Amino acid sequence: MAKFRSSDWFGKTDKMGFIYRSWMKNQGYPEDMFDGRPVIGICNTWSELTPCNAHLRDIAEVVKRGVYEAGGFPLEFPIMSLGETLLKPTAMLFRNLASMDAEESIRGNPIDGVVLLTGCDKTTPSTVMGAASVDLPTIVVPGGPMLNGKFQGQDIGSGTHVWKFAADVKTGKMLQEDYMFAESCMSRSAGHCMTMGTASTMACMVESLGLTLPGAAAIPAVDSRKKVLAHLSGRRIVEMVKEDLRISKVLTREAFENAIKVNAAVGGSTNLIIHLTAIAGRIGVELNLEDYDDLGSKIPLLLNLMPSGKYLMEDFFYAGGLPVILNELREHLHMHTTTVTGKGHAENIVGKIKSYNPEVIAPISNPLIKEGGIAVLKGNLAENGAVIKPSAASPELMVHRGRAVVFETIEDYHALVDDPDLDIDETCIMVLKNVGPVGYPGMPEVGNMTLPKKVLEKGVVDMVRISDGRMSGTAYGTVVLHVSPEAAIGGTLAVVQNGDFIELDVPNRRLHLDVSEEEIARRKQNWQRPAPVADRGYVNMYIKHVQQADKGADLDFLVGGSGDKVSRDSH
Ligand code: FES
């Protein structure tokens, strides 16, 4: 048998070997588990505080079956779990911290290959970032979406219908009792958001990167085939260790290009940009903001899922799932770049390529929108770029000049937005500052500001909104996000004032503050950096080291990897 990395722990016959094996034996493992077989870490983001991942302990048990069957030794371990719904001030603040936890837990332990159990938005990028910095054989098992929400005879989508219902309650179209009743109708099974929000986007991302077995992304959490996938992934990771198929052999430039194009075709979240860029940074692949526009914006939208479309992830699975999208895009993708199977997508999807419902997955010959993807905007208001998802925006607002109504902070927005005296109408542009990586801190999903009540009451459902924050993948609207440099470090956004005019021109990729250069320079000279929100702890370190959105918002010292070597024993 080949000698694996875990033999540096379990293969020793000295005092250290005794220590490494003896305490493990208190769990009742027999002697032959330490005979040099591949040790498989199961990195579990299970937590009852992360409801989207609360079923992952069951999934881990199924992964173990597969590992044992293939002759491996599975060992499950927890890492910090990031839930989108409870964690304040935003789960994004802790993505990099969780990635450090994953990285050090994998490297520091006797692990030869790792299975990442993911679900809620940040649990996927954080674990993949950490694993990439160690570079062992790695496979991802996405936890899967919830079943479709069902409310008063209609399908409702996680997140998407929260925004809609909240606006309906505000304008009196929905009763408060119905609003409360809808809560349990929306979230009625285990799993993550079943819209094409960030969690589904991340699941499609890891499958298109080649980090999962084929068809993994769309399987609902409670479908028995999710367990089949987990079982087979357990078997496969043992083989990957024997083949030394490390994550760096999968995460090539070609794989990243595939992920960008697939994201365009499925109408994935703008959050993909932040996470994919950060993962690329860990594995040493050059990826810049322009790549997303150059590679993705000409790709047609094929998947009809909320928030841009009509259906939900369960429908996507029944229609054939991601392999159908990969097949439709085959002319655009690198179909032979290595995936965790050791083969390319072309070989992986043979026999699994039929769309069972063209209303859900449209053929490339008749797409839903000719050009999907994410547009990258530049201009004096976003020198390093900003992004917008045209498929979730209003076509009539894609070229728009409007008067800025400025909210200096999120608190300012909440205090003023429904004030009847606020000077605003639907032609204005809402500008929100200080919600970027440094400013909030943590770049929360607040960019899709709910419109002012007096505008909503006119029946208007969209306005141009601009911020240095992010937007939930379940949200929609003409929302310009990720403005870089952000306001809190003195980007031009910091000096936009009420009454300034702003020009948005998506076809020409332009975001312009119509104020003279001299005036902008003068305002910048008078601008004062806000006081840091934390003077100690992780948040203080985060503020000092976080990169801007266009670089993926990773901590500067985490970019790259340190490999799987550990130099010293523990005693
Ligand atoms: Fe967890 Fe949406 S809140 S995936």
pLDDT at position 354 is 81
SS3 call for 259: helix
Is there a contact between 204 and 128 (Cβ–Cβ < 8 Å)? Answer: no
Question: What are the tens digits of pLDDT across the range 8-17?
Answer: 999 999 999 9
Ligand 1 centroid–CA 296 distance in Å is: 25
pLDDT at position 294 is 95
Ligand 1 centroid–CA 559 distance in Å is: 26
Ligand 1 centroid–CA 557 distance in Å is: 28
Ligand 1 centroid–CA 566 distance in Å is: 35
Q: What's the whole-number mean pLDDT along residues 99-115?
A: 98
Topology of domain 37-146+197-252+270-293, per CATH? Rossmann fold (3.40.50)
Atom 2, ligand 1: residue with shortest CA distance: 193
**CA 421, 425, 426 angle in degrees (round to 5)?**
150
Q: What's the whole-number mean pLDDT along residues 456-472?
A: 94
Atom 3, ligand 1: residue with shortest CA distance: 84
pLDDT at position 390 is 87
Name the pTM for this structure: 0.97
pLDDT level of residue 443 (50, 70, 90 thresholds)? very high
Mean pLDDT in the chain?
Answer: 96
Residue 192 in contact with ligand 1 by CB distance below 6 A: yes
The full set of domain ranges for the chain reads 37-146+197-252+270-293, 150-186, 375-530
pLDDT at position 148 is 98
DSSP 8-state assignment for residue 421: T
**pLDDT > 70: percent of the chain:** 100
Strands (E), 87-148: 113-118, 138-142
Q: What share of the chain is helix, strand, coil (3-state, %, to 5)?
A: 40, 15, 45
Q: Using the predicted structure, report yes or no on whether residue 361 has a pLDDT greater than 80.
A: yes
- In the numeric block, the tokens 């703008």 are attached to 270
Question: What are the tens digits of pLDDT across the range 143-171?
Answer: 999 999 999 999 999 998 998 898 899 88
For domain 375-530, the CATH architecture is 3-Layer(bba) Sandwich (3.50)
Residue 84 in contact with ligand 1 by CB distance below 6 A: yes
pLDDT at position 371 is 87
Which residue in 488, 472, 388, 389 sits closest to 436, CA to CA?
488
**Residue 157 CB: number of other CB atoms within 10 A?**
27
pLDDT at position 38 is 98
State the SS3 of 343-412: CCHHHHCCCCCCCCCCCCECCCCCCCECCCCCEEEEECCEEEEEEECHHHCCHHHCEEEEEEEEECCHHH
Which residue in 363, 193, 379 sits closest to 269, CA to CA?
193
Residue 293 in contact with ligand 1 by CB distance below 6 A: no
Ligand 1 centroid–CA 459 distance in Å is: 29
Q: Which of 160, 161, 193, 470 to mutate to test the pocket of ligand 1 (most atoms within 8 A of CB)?
A: 193
Q: How far is 96 from 196, CA to CA, in rounded Å?
A: 23
Q: What's the whole-number mean pLDDT along residues 212-239?
A: 98
Q: Using the predicted structure, report yes or no on whether residue 373 has a pLDDT greater than 90.
A: no
Q: What's the whole-number mean pLDDT along residues 478-501?
A: 98
Q: Using the predicted structure, report yes or no on whether residue 437 has a pLDDT greater than 90.
A: yes
Q: How far is 272 from 282, CA to CA, in rounded Å?
A: 15
pLDDT at position 1 is 66
Ligand 1 atom with the shortest distance to the CA of 83: 1
pLDDT level of residue 532 (50, 70, 90 thresholds)? confident
Q: Using the predicted structure, report yes or no on whether residue 352 has a pLDDT greater than 70.
A: no
Q: What's the whole-number mean pLDDT along residues 80-93?
A: 96
Which amino acid is it at 514?
A: D
Q: Using the predicted structure, report yes or no on whether residue 351 has a pLDDT greater than 80.
A: no
Ligand 1 centroid–CA 123 distance in Å is: 10
Q: Using the predicted structure, report yes or no on whether residue 316 has a pLDDT greater than 90.
A: yes
pLDDT at position 65 is 98
Radius of gyration of the chain (CA): 24
Ligand 1 atom with the shortest distance to the CA of 121: 4
SS3 call for 166: helix
Ligand 1 centroid–CA 158 distance in Å is: 8
Residue 122 in contact with ligand 1 by CB distance below 6 A: no
Is there a contact between 135 and 563 (Cβ–Cβ < 8 Å)? Answer: yes
